[in-house]
Amino acid sequence: MGSPSSKSIVIGFLTVRPVDETALRGGYLLTTEFGRPLEFHYTSELRVSHQQRLLYGPSFDSYIQAEVIAKPMTNRQSTAPRIIVVNRMPLLDLRRHIPAPVSCLLETQAKPEEPDSRPFRIEVHDEYPYDRAAFDKIQKLAAEGFDWLEPFERIEQALAEIREPGAIAA
C-alpha cells in the first residue's frame, strides 16, 4: 500500500460483516482523500454462540463489533486517520475508545431533484455530536465527487477473498 504524503488527509473506513450465521469478520481500510489505499487490516472470523448473544443482551452487537473486532484493528494502524467512517450503527460505540471522530453512513436514495442530496444519511454517537461537523469538514476537503460508500464495497470484496481455516471463538 502507499504511504501518505505530508498533505494527505487520511480517512478510515471500517466495517464488520457476517461470514455466516455464527461468525463475523472486520475490515479496516485507510485511504487518502482521493480514495487511494494506504493500509488494510482485517480480523479472523470470530465465532459467537447463541448463548453469548443471550447473555450480552442488547449490548451484544456494540460490544462485539466495536470493542472486540474494531478497536484492535485501529490499534494496528500505522497512520492516524482524521475520521473513521463506519456503515453499521453498533460501530459508533468505537468512538468511546478512540480519539478520532466516528461517523456512520447509512445508505439511502439520493434525490436528483435536490442538488445537495446524498446517497447516505450521517449518524454520530449521541455522546459525540461534534463528530457530525468533523465529517462535514472532511467531506469538503475530500476530492470532488468522492464516493463515500464505495470504500465499503472494496472492503467487502477483500474480506470475501480471505480464506482462513478455522475461526476464533469469542
Cα dihedral across residues 54, 26, 71, 93: positive or negative: negative
- Judge whether 118 lies within some domain: yes
CA 144 to chain CA centroid, nearest Å: 21
Q: CA-CA distance, 109 to 43, in Å (whole number)? A: 31
- Closest-CA residue to 28 (of 42, 38, 18, 17): 42
Residue-range definition of the domain harbouring residue 119: 11-163
Q: What is the pLDDT of residue 32?
A: 96
Q: Considering its fold, how many domains does the chain have in total?
A: 1
- Judge whether 1 lies within some domain: no
162 vs 43, higher pLDDT = 43
> Amino acid identity, residue 147?
D
- Judge whether 111 lies within some domain: yes
Q: How far is CA 148 from CA 9, 84, 90, 144, in A?
A: 14, 12, 19, 11
- Judge whether 6 lies within some domain: no
Question: E strands, the chain, where?
Answer: 11-20, 23-31, 37-42, 46-47, 83-86, 102-107, 120-124, 168-169
DSSP per-residue letters across 91-138: GGGGGGG-SS-EEEEEE----TTSTT--SEEEEE-TT-TTHHHHHHHH
- Judge whether 4 lies within some domain: no
Q: What is the pLDDT of residue 123?
A: 96
Q: CA-CA distance, 152 to 87, in Å (whole number)? A: 8
Instruction: Read off the pTM.
Output: 0.89
Burial class (CB in 10 A: 0-12, 13-18, 19+), 3: exposed
Tens of pLDDT, residues 126-142: 999 999 999 999 999 99
- Judge whether 71 lies within some domain: yes
Tens of pLDDT, residues 34-59: 999 999 999 999 998 889 889 989 99
